[in-house]
Structures are given as C-alpha cells and as structure tokens.
Amino acid sequence: MAEKTIEIEVLRYDPEKDAEPYFQTFTVPYVEHWVVLDALTYIKDEIDQSLTFRWSCHMAVCGSCGYNIDGEPHLGCKTFIRDFYPNKVRVEPLANFPIERDLVVVQDDFIEKFADIKPYIIRERHNTVDEGTYKQSRAELIKFKQYTMCINCLLCYSACPQYGLNPEFYGPASLSLAHRYNMDSRDEGREERMEVLAAEEGVWGCTFVGACSRACPKDVDPAGAIQQIKIAATSDWMKEKLMPWGKK
C-alpha cells in the first residue's frame, strides 16, 4: 500500500438485508492521479467485492458513473481525490432517485419521461435511398449542437430541487434534449413534442434555479434550453389567441 492513504465513506444499502442505508468507511491508497472511480474500483477489487456502482468508459463520455460526492453531483471519473486530501471523501448515490443498491439508483422514471419527449428526428416523409441524406448547413447545426452533448448522466436531476419536490416534472435532461430536436432543421416533430413540453409538468415546472446547468459536466446548459422552450411555448399561445385561423 502507498505511504499515504485517504478515507472513502460510501453509502451502502442492500434492500434484501438492510432496513436503512448506512455509511461504511474504507481506507485506500492516496494516489495523486486517482479519481473517485479509481478509489471505488480499488475497494471492490481489494477490500469488498459486494460494493455496487455503475461505470463504463472512464472517459466522461458514457455518463454511467454519476454519484453525489461530498454532497454535490459529479462524475466519478472526473473528480480527483487529490481535491479532497487529506479529508475524507463521502460518496452517495444521486439524489432524487430511489436506491437500487449501494451507489446504483433506479432510473425508470427518467427513461419513461425521456421516451415521452420523442428524442429522435420525426418526419412526415423520409428520403429514399436515391434522394440521399438530409442536408444541413453549419449554421443550422450550431443552433442545436450544444444540446447534443448530453450524456444522460442524470447529474442535473440530482441537482434539480424542483425534480426532488415534484416527481411529475420532466426534468432538465429530457427537456433540453427535446429542445435539441425541435431546433434541428431536419426535424418536423416540434408540434408533437410541445404537447408535452408546454404542459405544467413540462417547462412550466421549472423555477429556473439553474443548478442543473452548474452540475452538467458537458456544459449543455439545460436551464437555458428550458427558458428557450418557455419563450417558444408563450409565442405559440399568443399566435393561437391572436391568429386562431392560422392554427392547423
């Protein structure tokens, strides 16, 4: 073991045998280039194989290793233990989700809402093979490119106080991804999505705290996307009231 060590305090919970979650502290080597995910992997490999957590790429691309680290949502693969040394590092599952086991949360609610906003290109008619692919200018791409960076890590949901208070709220990632497709010049499904987005549990459930954008590891700015959808929904409402003959 390295000369220096650091304590990792992990929330443990096995629903088959534990009445309540509890914290367990592990002592691991302090290696300056280790991230929290490395420390968790060391615990699982060398100390306690029952420790359960999600991870995949170790490159901040897959979004699997989202945890609450010292009370804030972070990716385990981007959070260095050197930023906490010599203090103890507390690692918990993401807030606002039921715990499945240890650091793994149940994502069913997010997945169902994600499907509702139709996160894919919708067209009334698709090009034939002979017609080729859909053309898009660089300017058209720039309009929505920022929102394509979302990796569904759910850090924004853990940071969002409104989602914690109102589980019916669709939440930052789903809403910003809907905005991504509404802004895509190839898409024709805006009207379908706005039925969900403009509802109370859609964008109007957001109180614009902005915690989601601060937590986002890819600088997507879901809070900004939600406010843009609010403007679009308000414009739609005004047009319907002032020009009802223009409604399809």
| pLDDT attached to residue 237 | 86
| pLDDT attached to residue 141 | 96
Taking the C-alpha atoms of residue 219 and residue 58, their distance in angstroms, rounded to an integer, is 18
Identify whether the C-beta of residue 99 lies closer than 8 Å to the C-beta of residue 19.
no
Give 125's DSSP letter: S
Per-residue pLDDT of the chain (248 residues; tens, 9 = 90+): 448 999 999 999 999 999 999 999 999 999 999 999 999 999 999 999 999 999 999 999 999 999 999 999 999 999 999 999 999 999 999 999 999 999 999 999 999 999 999 999 999 998 899 998 889 999 999 999 999 999 999 999 999 999 999 999 999 999 999 999 999 999 999 999 999 999 999 999 999 999 999 999 999 999 999 999 999 999 988 887 787 776 55
Report phi then psi at 101, rounded to 5: -170, 130
Tokens of 151: 């990796």
| pLDDT attached to residue 158 | 98
Amino acid present at 106: V
Nearest to 190 by CA among 152, 233, 158, 136: 233
| pLDDT attached to residue 243 | 77
Estimate to the nearest angstrom the gap between the alpha carbon of 115 and the chain centroid.
Answer: 14
| pLDDT attached to residue 1 | 46
What Å distances lie between residue 99 and 93, 94, 113, CA to CA? 7, 9, 19
What Å distances lie between residue 124 and 115, 133, 143, 191, CA to CA? 19, 15, 22, 12
For residue 86, what are the contacts with CB-CB under 8 A and spacing of at least 6?
6, 30
Taking the C-alpha atoms of residue 14 and residue 30, their distance in angstroms, rounded to an integer, is 28
| pLDDT attached to residue 248 | 52
Taking the C-alpha atoms of residue 39 and residue 28, their distance in angstroms, rounded to an integer, is 7
Identify whether the C-beta of residue 222 lies closer than 8 Å to the C-beta of residue 213.
yes
Q: Kindly report the pTM of this predicted structure.
A: 0.92
- 109-123 residues labelled b (16+ CB within 10 A) or e (exposed): bbeebbebbbbeeee
Identify whether the C-beta of residue 222 lies closer than 8 Å to the C-beta of residue 174.
no
Structural domains of the chain, ranges and CATH numbers in brackets:
5-105 (3.10.20.30), 108-246 (1.10.1060.10)
What Å distances lie between residue 173 and 95, 119, 227, CA to CA? 15, 11, 13
* Sheet arrangement for strand 5-12: 22-29, 5-12, 89-92, 66-69, 72-75
| pLDDT attached to residue 246 | 61
